Structure 1
């Protein structure tokens, strides 16, 4: 009728058997992801010349990176101001989703306020 499996499962991973393989918790992964989205938002914010908003974003990135401040360099992408606001709005939205799943209230409030500011600026231009 039924013959038992005699070999090891092909679905087991080497990470489960090797000691010393670094692994991160879900919280650590979300911190990394959120810091990445906020750093991308910081780059666009700096390109737009919004230094006050950039300082607030940089403070959040530094908090998520354990106090290490982000490198700030406004590389010029030669996009229109409307396109930059649209990109910043999308990046702030991604940051808001991750901040909400991580239950990080301060980052979520910052991301939501940046979304509002960029949607208002896009509508005005």
Structure 2
């Protein structure tokens, strides 16, 4: 009824057979994923620092950079080169709700949530605590922005 397979499988199923490509363990994959989420959160944090500087964001950025470097074997993450720049004040930018501080806090909250899930899966307490703290901070900032604008 079925035609037999005539070619050798490209997937090695034999135990102990050498492979032509490197394999990573689950822990290594989780490290890579967690570092990626934290690096993305760091990028959004740097963007927030550029629009609304604060000591809390500065501290958070430094802590995120330390965690990303730890997960990447000591390699420092790429950072924004100008955290001290003033925000754009063009009319289009102020009316655009997808790029304002509230939207950035929303993105940061989502990224911190993803990092928290991976950190919990990996059993990385330090990263999980940092991600949870950032989620709380960004949720509070979103709530404050909604109170100020009356939207919600």
Taking structure 2 as the reference length, what is the TM-score of the superposition?
A: 0.71
Alignment match, 2:111: 91
How far has the Cα of 1:18 moved from its partner? 5.4
- Choose the corresponding residue for 2:65, options 41, 50, 58: 58
Q: Deviations over 1:39-97 (max 9, x none)?
A: 00000001111221100000000000001110101688x61100000000000000000
Alignment match, 1:47: 47
Cα RMSD (Å): 2.7
Inter-partner Cα distance in structure 2 for 1:64 and 1:15: 30
Relative distance call for 1:6 and 1:32 in structure 2 (3 A) is same
Inter-partner Cα distance in structure 2 for 1:7 and 1:80: 57
How far has the Cα of 1:13 moved from its partner? 3.7
**Aligned: 1:26 with 2:26:** yes
How many equivalent residue pairs? 122
Inter-partner Cα distance in structure 2 for 1:59 and 1:9: 49
Alignment match, 2:128: 108
Which 5+ residue runs of structure 2 have no aligned equivalent? Answer: 50-56, 88-92, 94-98, 146-152
How far has the Cα of 1:21 moved from its partner? 1.5
